[in-house]
């Protein structure tokens, strides 16, 4: 069912039942567009339409390339249970998967990355691998959209998920129809093409539009590192800007100074998840403190990329202290302060994997501009190939270890524009040690 928007006069008689006269005789039907009506409302300014997340009108950046699609995900309820609606923006068209036939086979997934880690550790990684593959089978409309996107030149998928369901979009699976080869990444979409995240940025009109812009982040590395995460050999040091922060307080002081110049903010610390926002912490700092007390003009001035290399830094939490109980995460705070892009984690990651990922990113960015979305896709693809090869060869022990690494690589999510790049340079006047 579709409805046309009503003007103010139309709203007065929206039920099409005008009041009766005093003698009980109804007034004759009135033309809602009759300018000779008893009350002239043409000069009354109508209230603006309410603003907020609108999955059918995401006000896309004109800078998005033609091979890029935006998938918007919206909360809904169907048959008394939580569900979600899908809207795909691609090449000027908006397609929806929100009919009863779509919702009837869709429910709150219960497949959040943190849940997958728990299942893998309890029931085995191979079983969890199969579970995720099978979960997507009934999402036939989404599968059709993705197949069409993959046929485009340089395909990229941006996902703006406004729900708290923690759906692992990077782990969207399409069964491959070709024979297995050593280069096979299985049917995992996040290893085959860049899957990019967006989150609602609560900064005036930015809250209802996808406003990411292509950035070319260039400069040195501003580092915050919990001493527990220090390693003997560190490839970051020759590009490091100033003194390394070992406390969040010191990092905040650096970010408050708008003269601090850098291309990448690298954070190595613990993240602790809790549904209580006061207990949801990054580097020991509670979410509300980072959200409401921190000021980061240096980030606003540089538009630098941010790598929050800690557990659960991109996991959503619903802040129920306010009327608008909507999902938010640490990545949104840095985007709001002007970060050109944010890479963060959806669940727990091991220190070894976290170090390896950061070292690979830094090493590549030292050689020249690196597309951040492509770099993360390549990282996932490496682990996907190892997992798929181990499964095909039937080595259960090797498959368990390879699949655990596979899932860990998919815990990293990229928030930003598909064209954003990072190039690291030694600070001016500094000599490499």
The CATH T-level fold of domain 214-424 is Rossmann fold (3.40.50)
Task: Tell me the CA distances in angstroms from 406 to 10, 126, 211, 411, one per residue in order.
Answer: 57, 11, 31, 9
pLDDT tens by residue, 181-232: 566 788 999 999 999 999 999 999 888 889 899 999 999 999 999 999 998 8
- CA separation for the pair 332, 202 (Å, rounded): 8
Asked if residues 372 and 421 have their Cβ atoms less than 8 Å apart, the reply is yes
Task: Tell me the CA distances in angstroms from 173 to 99, 125, 147, 149, 324, one per residue in order.
Answer: 22, 16, 11, 14, 33
The pLDDT score that the predictor gives to residue 405 is: 97
> What residue ranges do the domains of the chain occupy?
68-198, 214-424
How many CA atoms lie less than 13 Å away from 56 in the CB half-sphere?
5
pLDDT tens by residue, 237-246: 989 999 999 9
Handedness of CA 407, 345, 313, 228 (dihedral sign): positive
The pLDDT score that the predictor gives to residue 19 is: 43
pLDDT tens by residue, 116-143: 999 999 999 999 999 999 999 999 999 9
Name beta bridge partners: 351.
Answer: none
Q: Does residue 40 have a pLDDT over 50?
A: no
User: Model's pTM, two decimal places?
Assistant: 0.86
Q: 172, 90, 175: which is closest to 132 by C-alpha?
A: 172
């Amino acid at each position: 069912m579709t409805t046309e928007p009503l003007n103010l006069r139309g709203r007065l008689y929206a039920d099409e039942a005008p009041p009766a006269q005093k003698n009980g005789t109804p007034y004759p039907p009135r033309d809602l567009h009759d300018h000779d009506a008893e009350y002239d409302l043409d000069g009354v300014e109508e209230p603006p339409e309410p603003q907020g997340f609108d999955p059918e009108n995401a006000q896309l950046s004109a800078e998005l390339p033609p091979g890029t699609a935006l998938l918007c995900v919206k909360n809904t309820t169907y048959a008394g249970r939580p569900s979600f609606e899908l809207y795909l923006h691609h090449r000027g068209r908006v397609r929806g998967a929100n009919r009863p036939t779509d919702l009837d086979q869709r429910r709150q997934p219960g497949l959040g990355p943190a849940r997958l880690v728990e299942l893998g550790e309890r029931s085995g990684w191979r079983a969890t691998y199969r579970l995720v593959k099978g979960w997507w089978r009934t999402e036939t409309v989404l599968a059709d959209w993705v197949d069409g996107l993959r046929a485009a030149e340089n395909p990229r998928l941006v996902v703006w998920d406004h729900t708290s369901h923690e759906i692992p979009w990077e782990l969207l699976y399409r069964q491959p129809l070709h024979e297995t080869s050593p280069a096979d990444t299985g049917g995992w979409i996040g290893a085959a093409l860049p899957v990019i995240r967006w989150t609602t940025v609560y900064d005036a009109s930015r809250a209802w539009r996808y406003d990411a812009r292509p950035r070319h982040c260039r400069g040195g590395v501003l580092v915050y590192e919990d001493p527990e995460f220090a390693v003997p050999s560190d490839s970051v040091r020759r590009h490091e800007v100033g003194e390394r922060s070992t406390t969040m307080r010191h990092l905040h002081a650096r970010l408050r100074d708008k003269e601090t110049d850098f291309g990448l903010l690298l954070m190595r610390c613990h993240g602790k998840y809790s549904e209580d926002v006061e207990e949801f912490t990054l580097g020991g700092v509670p979410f509300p403190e980072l959200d409401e007390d921190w000021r980061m003009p240096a980030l606003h001035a540089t538009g630098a990329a941010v790598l929050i290399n800690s557990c659960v830094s991109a996991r959503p939490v619903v802040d129920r202290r306010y009327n608008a109980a909507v999902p938010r995460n640490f990545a949104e705070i840095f985007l709001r302060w002007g970060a050109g892009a944010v890479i963060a984690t959806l669940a727990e990651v091991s220190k070894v994997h976290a170090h390896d990922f950061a070292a690979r990113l830094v090493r590549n960015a030292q050689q020249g501009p690196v597309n951040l979305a492509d770099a993360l896709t390549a990282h996932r693809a490496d682990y996907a190939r190892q997992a798929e090869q181990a499964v095909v060869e039937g080595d259960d022990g090797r498959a368990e270890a390879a699949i655990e690494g596979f899932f860990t690589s998919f815990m990293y999510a990229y928030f930003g524009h598909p064209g954003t790049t990072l190039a690291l340079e030694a600070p001016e006047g500094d000599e490499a040690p």
